[in-house]
Amino acid sequence: MMLGFLDVLGTAVFAVSGVLLAGKLRMDPFGVLVLGVVTAVGGGTIRDMVLNDGPVFWVRDPTDLVVAMVTCFVAILVIRQPRQLPKWILPVLDAIGLAVFVGIGVNKAFASGTGPLIAVCMGVITGVGGGIIRDVLAREIPMILRTEVYATACIIGGIAHTTAFHVFHLSSQHASVLGMVITLGIRLAAIRWHLKLPTFELEGKE
């Protein structure tokens, strides 16, 4: 139940993040719709194509697809105000969607019977996939490459979720919430205090 609610929440915030990015690109409403929907369902779509047991989730059950579409329409109608949006809106929405989707991805991997390593990978794919597609289509450098402590947050959250479930035998729901809180906490802290790990940098020109 609660996971169902979080799923809808994650879908909606990612859809809005797609709409907000589209707002910088002079697109018409249906183009905005496409970018918002792709952002919302993209990560889970890649996950299901990789796991490959049957059609992807929104073909089996179009709930998330409808949530994404309705969210886009509402967002297009509501947000259309000319005043400046604060800079932190898109990263924070992205962080919420990221945290929720990493947790959902890990759970779906467990449900498919994969081991812990693959489960963490599925969490990361589900979390970052939609945002990567959004940014590649809009020709932004993907957040996962340009933003510090982004991959880090979802890898640590996914490992915490998996460990809590496999090693400490928390219930699936408790383990999910723990992982999501950790992912979200790391990302919000990184956005608020501009945390960064030491970057890996080479001077050589390729």
Q: Residue 196 gets which letter from DSSP? A: -
Among 4, 52, 167, 169, binds its own copies (CB under 8 A): 52
Q: How many CA atoms lie within 13 A of 115 on its CB side?
A: 1
Minimal distance, residue 61 CB to its own copies, in Å: 10
> Which tokens sit at 122?
């599925």
> What three-state secondary structure class fits 169?
coil
Q: Output the CA torsion sign for 164, 167, 168, 174.
A: positive
**Cβ 28 vs Cβ 76: under 8 Å:** no
* Binding span for its own copies by CB under 8 A among 1-9, 82-90, 160-168, 170-178: 82-90
> CB neighbours (10 Å) of residue 132?
18
Among positions 170-189, residues that touch its own copies (CB under 8 A) are: none
In this complex, which beta carbon is closest to its own copies, that of residue 62 or of residue 168?
62
Instruction: Using the minimum distance from each CB to its own copies, give the nearer residue, 2 or 53.
Output: 53
Q: Does 70 bind its own copies (CB under 8 A)?
A: no
Which of positions 126-145 make contact with its own copies (CB under 8 A)?
128, 132, 136-139, 141-142, 144-145
30 forms part of the interface with its own copies (CB under 8 A): yes
